[in-house]
Amino acid sequence: MNRAVFLDRDGVLNDAIVKNGKPYPPASLQELRIAEDVLPALQALKKQGFLLLGATNQPDVARGKTARSWVETINSALMEELPLDEIRVCYHDDSDNCDCRKPAPGLILQAAKNHNVDLQQSFMIGDRWKDITAGKKAGCRAIWINRNYDERQPDDADAIVTSLGHAADWILNM
């Protein structure tokens, strides 16, 4: 079985756009920013044999605020720049009650099944409580990147860090 690192998108793989303390996805390719430590962190994890699997909620599609094609454009740009194996997306809103919208673990469980992943030997890295809860429900260890958003914080993260680079270091030093 494979080991994997599941990664949220906005705020983890790329910088979130923060407005009034809340994180949002980039609205254009010009707004898409990847922090300097992201590529080396992912390369180090990949070198140690981890699959790198994105898992992102994109409810603005269901809310009519953005097109699905735009989300796919951002994902394609990230796949070109970073050594990711896949990015899975939930396009639903909370009211859809799906099993793929974090904090539900569906995105992680689907990817784990498709890639033959041992969840107990895997990690979820996120910047919001929903990411951490989804990872824990799936059976992963969960690492919270604290971006100081003005919102609920997770209470069950296995580690709290301030960047993806620090999260990768934590995993690699276990």
Catalytic residues: 8, 10
CB 107 within 8 A of CB 60: no
Q: Quick one: residue 148, left, alpha or beta (phi over 0 = left, psi -120 to 50 = alpha)?
A: left
The residues, any chain, with a CB within 8 Å of residue 34's CB and separated by 6 or more, are 13, 14, 15, 78, 81, 82
CA distance 61 to 152: 23
Which residue has 């809340």 as its token pair?
A: 22
Which residue has 């859809």 as its token pair?
A: 96
In the chain, which ranges are continuous DSSP H helix? 38-47, 68-81, 106-115, 129-138, 164-172
